[in-house]
Amino acid sequence: MGKTIRRAPDGKIERRTPDEMLRDAVVGDTDLPGKGKPLDLKAYFQPDAEHRMAGKILRDNNALPPQLQERKDAEEHLAKAEAHLHSASEKIAPLRKAIRPLAQTLMQTFSHSAEMREALGLNALPEDFHPSSKTPPARDTDLLLVIENYGQLCKRHNALVDNLTARCLENLRLARENIEASKKRQLINRSLLPPYAPIATVDIEARREDIQKRFARLPELSPDWKSHLKTWQRFRRPSLWQRVFRSARFTLSRAGRCGRTDD
Helix (H, G, I), strand (E, B), or coil: what is residue 260? helix
Can you give the pLDDT at residue 157?
92
Burial class (CB in 10 A: 0-12, 13-18, 19+), 7: exposed
Can you give the pLDDT at residue 257?
53
Can you give the pLDDT at residue 45?
77
Nearest to 233 by CA among 120, 126, 125: 120
* Residue 167, domain member (yes or no): yes
Report for 35-39, 89-93, 166-170, 210-214: range of highest mean pLDDT: 166-170
* Residue 63, domain member (yes or no): no
* Residue 193, domain member (yes or no): yes
Domain span including residue 228: 71-233
Q: What is the mean pLDDT of residues 133-143?
A: 82
* Residue 64, domain member (yes or no): no
Q: Give the distance between the most distant pair of CA atoms in the chain.
A: 148
* Residue 61, domain member (yes or no): no
Q: What is the mean pLDDT of residues 94-105?
A: 88
pLDDT surpassing 90 at residue 173: yes
pLDDT surpassing 70 at residue 87: yes
Burial class (CB in 10 A: 0-12, 13-18, 19+), 112: exposed
Nearest to 122 by CA among 235, 237, 232, 234: 232
Query: What's the pTM value of the predicted model, to 2 decimals?
Result: 0.61
* Residue 27, domain member (yes or no): no
* Residue 242, domain member (yes or no): no
| C-alpha span between 222 and 154 (Å, rounded) | 12
Number of domains in the chain: 1
* Residue 166, domain member (yes or no): yes
